[in-house]
Copies of this chain bind each other. A is one copy, B any other.
């Protein structure tokens, strides 16, 4: 597999290094709006720096990884599949559901595989939990709980162009809730506040939020988010069902524990998403390479991306109007 990388920012560098470390794939070329970024990463990985156009028109490149800013995703996906390439794209496809639908229709017509970067599905802990859930270990699913707290809030400038907390941060949790529920939510109610940083509130967004959702059969999902957690990057899931509970917790920085007159103390949890999800990014890439080779259907699909986006849109509207929002079932474009 010959791979081109579009975007050499933080997440692009992760994927680029992971491709370079694979025996069954080769990182051929790297593009970035900042030529220096592309060149640096290319040098580190044995690839060449190139323009996005050059990569898309290079017939020797089998697949591209789209790690550019969100507003370029849909266009690049369309160009890539039309050029016959398999595509891995970081979430989201677009902040606008209509634009996503058009993009997915183009992908559909191309017949090329598209996989969306919901990395948490590939975390070995969460993936093991989901597998055991599907095997029936918790019985009939009743309540799914997802807790996500970032170590610290992003700059307000980022917040302003992020689409808001529900689309920028909670979208991962919407995908995780769908992944675990085994059924589509049909109703969403959201509450949000700006408690961490007043400036986020002044920018029209929230930094603390809770969502409840219900599926057609009555399963319930709860999600809560905070843009700040002093003790690290807090990522927990819990599923309660007729036979019991399955949950997966955080990973502490080390296993060292101290005991003194002040009590027993364990380390903070891993603080940085690139560290916390390092194994997930590697497994995600493996899944994409397997899909490129036709060994497995691409998953999560573009439709998964659209459905998470629709939940994020609904939550955004719910928080704005103060009313619950119904979700229409979205079918493949």
Contact = CB atoms under 8 A, between A and B. Distances in A.
A20 to B, nearest CB: 10
Interface residues of A, number: 72
Interface in A224-279: 224, 226, 228-231, 234, 240, 242-252, 254-269
Interface string A119-142: 000001100110010000110101
A174 to B, nearest CB: 16
Contacts of A231: 244-245, 259-261, 263-264
Interface in A151-202: 187, 189, 191, 193-196
Nearest to A225: B143
B209 A220 contact: yes
A248 B260 CA distance: 15
Q: What are the nearest 3 A-B pairs in CB distance?
A: A193-B218, A244-B260, A231-B259
A257 B268 contact: no
Given A23-B44, A209-B220, A230-B243, 9 more contacts: A132-B256, A145-B147, A187-B191, A189-B191, A189-B324, A250-B255, A264-B268, A265-B265, A324-B324
Nearest to A130: B256
A244 B211 CA distance: 21
Contact of A142 (B143, B208, B246, B250): B208
Interface in A29-43: none
A256 B125 contact: yes
Nearest to A247: B257
Interface of A: 21, 23, 44, 124-125, 128-129, 132, 137-138, 140, 142-143, 145, 147, 149, 187, 189, 191, 193-196, 208-212, 214, 217-220, 222, 224, 226, 228-231, 234, 240, 242-252, 254-269, 322-324
19 contacts: A125-B256, A132-B256, A142-B195, A142-B196, A142-B226, A143-B208, A149-B240, A193-B214, A196-B242, A210-B212, A229-B240, A231-B261, A243-B260, A244-B261, A248-B254, A249-B255, A259-B268, A264-B269, A322-B324
Contacts of A247: 256-257, 259
Contacts of A259: 229-231, 244-247, 268
Q: Which residue among A209, A219, A230 has the maximum number of chain B CB atoms within 10 Å of its CB? A: A230
Contacts of A255: 125, 248-251
